[in-house]
Amino acid sequence: MTAALTFIIPVRHQDNAKDWPRLKSNLAQTLRSLAAQTSDDWRAIVVANHGADLPPLPPGVEVARVDFPPNSLHEQGEAGREAFYDACRMNKGERVLAGMLHAGAMRYAMVVDDDDCVSSRLAEFVAGGAPEGATDNPPGWFIEDGYLWEDGSSYLYRIPGFSRLCGTSHIVRADLFQLPASMATAEREYIRTMMGSHVYISEKLKRTGTPLAPLPFAGAVYRVGHPGAHSKSQGVFAQYFRHGWLLYSPGELARRLQRLKWLGSGMRREFFGKPRTRPAPAPASA
């Protein structure tokens, strides 16, 4: 039986990490989030270079080891913006593609950045909305509403348009990726756009007549404002509450305050929860 949902987690080359212990800690939290799914109908592939020290893997998570070199433009420096983005998309895209090829048969796939968290309801939702063997299963879903979160904060900030902001935002039926037979046969443009960027995929699937639908609940948490964030994202306060003009726009300030969500026990269980106990696999028949 093929899992309803396969998570692909690309991990940057260890030489591109300013603080590997911090990255490892964030990744461990991401894996706890995946392992807390309310259904066992999922699997996860962590894509990491040989030699990368990883945290303990929960049941259901496996590793695809790769030999890709570090990204020479991991920091923009003096490089042009497009050259920088292109290098990042290629680096991530190669890792995502390697993970998908390693996974083999998939029903739906979701790329999860190594410092984000997801709703514990995703696998159950996909399994219920796209049963195995059905011939009319939907193309997939994008996360319209999700949360921003800073390390250690007691609040989440709900934001619309989440899929345009965060890479952990699309669940796609596997056949729509039109995977190549191998890494060697994959074209650069395919790796860059279909595998390496969350910006292009929704529009491309819409143009080909297989549009993604909005997920009917907040599906993920985007960790922002930490030193290892490759997107250089700012914290919630810096992005949404520090602007002086909000004092003269009480309606907008009130709307933003309403988007703050207390990180209580229910939200912690859904997005950061303790992994469920998966049943032991049945012994192989003689």
Q: Which value, to the nearest 10 degrees, does the dihedral of the CA atoms of residues 238, 242, 243, 245 take? A: 160
Write out pLDDT tens, residues 15-36. Answer: 999 899 999 999 999 999 999 9
Q: Of the ranges 180-189, 217-226, 271-280, which one carries the lowest mean pLDDT score?
A: 271-280
The string over 140-158, giving b where at least 16 C-beta atoms fall within 10 Å of a residue's C-beta and e elsewhere, is: bbbbbbbbbbbeebebbbe
Residue 232 pLDDT > 80, yes or no? Answer: no
User: Structural domains in the chain?
Assistant: 5-272 (3.90.550)
Residue 185: pLDDT over 90: yes
Q: In whole angstroms, give the CA distance from residue 157 to residue 17.
A: 27
Reported pTM: 0.88
Q: Is the pLDDT of residue 176 over 70?
A: yes
Q: Model confidence over 116-128: pLDDT tens digits?
A: 999 999 999 999 9
pLDDT at residue 229 above 70?
no
pLDDT at 255 over 90: no
Share above pLDDT 90 across residues of the chain, in percent, rounded to a whole number: 69
**Cα 248 vs. chain centroid, distance in angstroms?**
37
